[in-house]
Chains A and B, each alone.
Chain A
Amino acid sequence: MKDPEMLDRDGEDGGAPILRICGASKAFGGVQALENVSFEVSQGMILGMIGPNGAGKTTLFNLISGLYPPDAGRIFFNEEEIQRLPTHQRVRMGIARTFQNLALFENMNVLENVMVGQHVRTRCGFWGAIARTTGVRREEAACRENALALLDMVGLVDQALKPSADLPFGWQRLLEIARALASRPRVLLLDEPASGLNALETGRLGDLILAIRNQGITIVLVEHDMSLTMSVSDRIIVLDQGRVLASGTPEEIQTHSAVRTAYLGEHCEQR
């Protein structure tokens, strides 16, 4: 059951919406992964997105980042329509993401992974690379410094020269966040960043997410770990079978009856 009153309250608290999804739909074959999904994300907030597996959370991320186009509906970033733009242009505008199944470049070391993350904020092209002018050298040095600073922020600076595949799983997740931050995003989409982490690591991840938000970066967090999602999110959206089931503050969601039966209840019983 939907609660229309709660549905319409997104984006009313504070800043202008930086991300707006209007009636997005997407089907794969006969399966309707998303159906007429609409919501807004205000500047500087952390939006938690929850829902059972197959609810369409990752599909939604793929639509926002542009890995595939929506069948219907529109997506606005900073009031600019973006659903037709290629992925790399959206990254340049300020949308960064991480992947649920990790997508690090295993043929590069840790430092290079974060350096390549700055691709859209650096300029050296084919001829510049061959000529290797002072400007290019300077940019390369700055890129390296930035990458080391980001690695320091996530606590991996000592691992800079290791092959990225040699890092323990939890650190690989942090590296992927650092790589996403390297593009200096305005919106960061985190796809299940806590999955595979232990309790201690999850706690640190929560602190990191808050620290990122405090730099002014808006965050959309897809996460199955309820205590993490509830503790860091300003607002929460519940997706179920490709539709928005409910949205509201963490407190409202926790007391929302439809959500409890559809998702939280099941989730608790499984534990």
Chain B
Amino acid sequence: MTQSSLHETVRIGLLTGAVAAAGILFDNAYHIQVLVFIGINTILTLGLNLLMGYTGQISLGHAAFYGIGAYTSAILTVHFQFSPWAALFPSLGLAVLVALIVGIPTLKLSGYYLAMGTLGFGMIVFIVFRELDFWTGGSSGLAGIPSLKIGSVDLMSGRNFYYLVWGAVLGTLVVSRRLIESRVGRALRSIHGSEHAAMAIGVNTQAYKLQVFVFSAFLAALAGFLYAHCIGFISPGSFDFMASVRMVTMVVIGGMASIWGALLGASLLTLLPEWLHAFADYEMIVYGLILMLVMIFLPQGLLRGLLDIYERSRNA
């Protein structure tokens, strides 16, 4: 085992400890709820970071996959009496299928075609959620989504769901880490470095771009599934263009190509609206400003940027 992966194992162990400790310490249902949302957003950000941060492919419609995961499971459980766990596989499966259909034509082209394609795709999916009202409830949303159960244990009670979500976060972290530190991860990063050079060393860039796009859609759908069964009610507004922008912001703020940055970015952008209730109407402006400031002053993201500042002050 190399030094860096040893450090990584220690870090993941520490995070596991912190997750367990927070679960015991936090009593307040509201706090637990916020932690659950941080977890769900971390899964989203990790997936999008593999695509954006590591492979350099921008998706502006990732909320669509998040929504497909949420709505598929919600519709199957509410209208077709599926048990939630039985609805998990069709939800993930549909997201993967749709990602293949969207990804195959757009990823053949290099450059910003994926960004443009996913932008349009996200809008179409949002309209489908809103207009297919006999299934989705339209703009007023879909209520009465059953909670998850393991045996007779109802995971709805905040703390149990918290452990489930953060278990999924830790799993996603380990999987992302392993991908990045492998032959596959190097191939993905080579595409980010230079697509021509990646081809010239023998990387099938098209196949790898498709793989990582589908995997990030899979993670978004998993997050959507957890979200739907966590709050029991969903409406199209959670999966609109602004939601996609929020995800991109989480990736950029935490730091592109940084797994721990994804955790930080997701935490900050989940907590920020909670802290700044007064700014709810100006959400777009606040996110825009944050994105601009981070891009200008901390282009490597908050995590790397703060570490650099710390190291400089220590050396000074």
Contacts from A to B (Cβ < 8 Å): 65-67, 86-88, 91-92, 96-97, 99, 103-108, 112, 115-117, 119-120, 122-126, 128-130, 132, 136, 139-140, 143, 179-180, 182-183
Q: Closest approach, in angstroms, between the C-beta of B174 and any C-beta of chain A? A: 9
> CB within 8 Å of A: which of B179-201?
179, 182-187, 189-190, 192-194, 196-201
- Asked if B157 is at the interface of the complex by the 8 Å CB criterion, the answer is no
- Given A107-B257, A116-B187, A124-B182, are A183 and B202 also a contact pair (CB < 8 Å)? yes
Q: How many angstroms between the C-alpha atoms of A105 and B196 in the bound complex?
A: 11
The residue on B at minimum CB distance from A65 is B200
- Given A97-B200, A179-B201, are A129 and B184 also a contact pair (CB < 8 Å)? yes
A107 near B189: Cβ-Cβ < 8 Å:
yes
Which of B175, B182, B192, B211 is most buried by chain A, counting CB atoms within 10 A of its CB?
A: B182
Q: A67-B199, A87-B202, A97-B200 are in contact. List 9 more A-B contacts (CB 8 A).
A: A103-B197, A105-B189, A108-B190, A119-B187, A119-B203, A125-B184, A126-B184, A129-B183, A183-B202
Q: How many angstroms between the C-alpha atoms of A197 and B178 in the bound complex?
A: 39
- Given A86-B204, A91-B202, are A115 and B184 also a contact pair (CB < 8 Å)? no
Q: Closest approach, in angstroms, between the C-beta of B5 and any C-beta of chain A? A: 10
Q: Closest approach, in angstroms, between the C-beta of A215 and any C-beta of chain B? A: 19
Which residue from A107, A120, A124 sits with its C-beta under 8 Å from B184? A124
Q: Closest approach, in angstroms, between the C-beta of A113 and any C-beta of chain B? A: 9
Contacts from B to A (Cβ < 8 Å): 175, 178-179, 182-187, 189-190, 192-194, 196-205, 211, 215, 257
The residue on A at minimum CB distance from B182 is A129
Chain A residues, CB < 8 A from B202:
87-88, 91-92, 119-120, 183
Q: Closest approach, in angstroms, between the C-beta of B211 and any C-beta of chain A? A: 6
The residue on A at minimum CB distance from B176 is A130
29 example contacts (A-B, Cβ-Cβ < 8 A) are as follows: A87-B200, A88-B205, A91-B201, A91-B202, A92-B202, A96-B200, A97-B200, A99-B197, A99-B200, A103-B196, A108-B186, A108-B189, A116-B186, A119-B190, A120-B201, A120-B202, A126-B179, A126-B211, A126-B215, A129-B179, A129-B182, A129-B183, A129-B184, A130-B175, A130-B179, A132-B182, A136-B182, A140-B182, A143-B183
B201 near A116: Cβ-Cβ < 8 Å:
yes
A88 near B197: Cβ-Cβ < 8 Å:
no
The residue on A at minimum CB distance from B179 is A129
Chain B residues, CB < 8 A from A91:
200-202
Chain A residues, CB < 8 A from B178:
129-130, 132
The residue on B at minimum CB distance from A137 is B1
Chain A residues, CB < 8 A from B257:
107
- Given A108-B189, A115-B186, A116-B190, are A183 and B211 also a contact pair (CB < 8 Å)? no
Q: How many angstroms between the C-alpha atoms of A66 and B202 in the bound complex?
A: 11
Q: Closest approach, in angstroms, between the C-beta of A185 and any C-beta of chain B? A: 10
Chain B residues, CB < 8 A from A112:
186, 189
